[in-house]
A and B are shown apart, each in its own frame.
Chain A
């Protein structure tokens, strides 16, 4: 590659970095503006202020934001865990066993994945109110499974298909018991796939807004995105922009950390499930 070409690709790379980080940088910058500085019309704050963070963490808005953060973590982690366990068994069966209905399961997973969330919200809203699940954790965990399960089944069965299952038999020939062979050989091979699937499922549930906003009414179960969408400021005379930006930054930190730590795996998981067999 000539030097000129190299420079060209580096420039293109920089453009991509700016593209991806500009809005994130902007929301961080906005969260650091004091309320008198919000309207300065500039990208950067005139002076860095932690006012917005203190407002959502210890100030007036804390009672709205902190329970929402707890709800989000709790509900999303439980939904991710359940869908991982269920899809682990399912994907194992799809990858390893020969049974009729495999195709049916995979195509249903696809059908559920393309399902418009709002179509399910209307009947759930009514049903949850009747049976008392409205505004509770299970009331969100259950519909979140419709978001996380299909992608988990899909991604995980793609991962499991690539595991060299013969190694299990090889270990048994070498004298390992069935349990040892499974634990020492298969688990280490399968763990990265399960882990990646869990991250992707986490992202999807963490991102939910439609269920969160429709099936909750108080801080008892309302997750962060819904709380953000409905937050209108500590008082009606104050612009909510700063505190919302600060809260947005806080909920973005976990996903950015996950992305930076596991980018290679996440890419493999996303593309494996969708493009390769």
Chain B
């Protein structure tokens, strides 16, 4: 009885090769969504809803200091942002930090992964534990540690490196754009290289040992084995690591907040959005910056997936 009634209800069910949907498959379908649904819904509620709200607010001239004067301005906020040098400076700084940190981290992370895979069995657990510490340390704490190491009133860097040209006891690292960005990048690199190197290590472990041996027998040098055998075979792992880190680096906020608070043109896009909304209470403009940050992240993602053919689902063994 119940079989026939439910079957007519669920007309969207695709016909399976085994001859129609069985009761069991349908029950499984329902159970699947029953179990997975709550997590899925909560996840969408806490992200999709706010971003839609942001997109809506971004069309208004809306200040919390004067909420009654809220007025619809269409795309004017975006126009204001795109014609303002503040946006382009912060965008440039963000791109700079992203490119520098990801490039350095990739090289450094690869070196770390190579050492970890070659390291003697006895010290491997030590290395693995040690490398996780930067990953686990709070970003704000890492930012403070690096800031204080370089700062004039409590640092040791100036006295350690005063033999370097351009460094003396009173070098003010946070007095200029590039020296500030240098310290910010250093902190970011220190903190996130371990993550990249662990992903690369997992990729390295998947390169078949026989390929290495074969290349060795054929007389390939270490460099040739790296560039012709190892790296091409772990390209997928590399791309996934780079994609994750790029997206992460593009959102850089904590270190900038702690170290410079955007002084000396070191403001990033995230910091700009924060400043507009939370400090200046310009909900309309801030939302527009937030939306543009979101769009930038989506564009990076699309660029990677289409441009570099990063297949995340293949990585997951979904296909």
Contact = CB atoms under 8 A, between A and B. Distances in A.
A182 interface: no
Given A87-B39, A119-B290, A120-B47, A275 B237 contact: yes
Contacts, number: 318
A48 interface: no
Interface in A1-47: 6, 9-10, 12-13, 16-17, 19-21, 23-24, 26-27, 30, 33, 38-39, 41-43
A241 B148 contact: yes
Contacts of A150: 43
What are the 9 closest A-B residue pairs judged by CB atoms, nearest first?
A277-B317, A99-B32, A90-B39, A123-B53, A271-B202, A93-B35, A255-B136, A86-B39, A119-B290
Interface stretch (A171-179, A186-194, A201-209): A201-209
A13 B127 contact: yes
B273 interface: yes
B130 A16 contact: yes
**Size category of the binding interface on chain B:** 35 or more
A153 interface: yes
Interface stretch (B72-80, B208-216, B217-225, B253-261): B253-261
A209 B140 contact: yes
A275 B128 CA distance: 18
A209 B254 contact: yes
Name the residue in B130, B169, B206 with the highest tally of chain A Cβ atoms < 10 Å from its Cβ.
B130
B138 A210 contact: no
A275 to B, nearest CB: 4
A64 interface: no
12 contacts: A16-B115, A23-B137, A23-B146, A98-B29, A99-B29, A99-B31, A112-B47, A120-B290, A122-B57, A122-B283, A259-B132, A264-B125
B15 interface: no
B274 to A, nearest CB: 6
Nearest to A94: B36
Contacts of B145: 23-24, 26-27, 30, 245, 248
B133 A89 contact: no
Nearest to B152: A39
A245 B143 CA distance: 11
B240 A9 contact: no
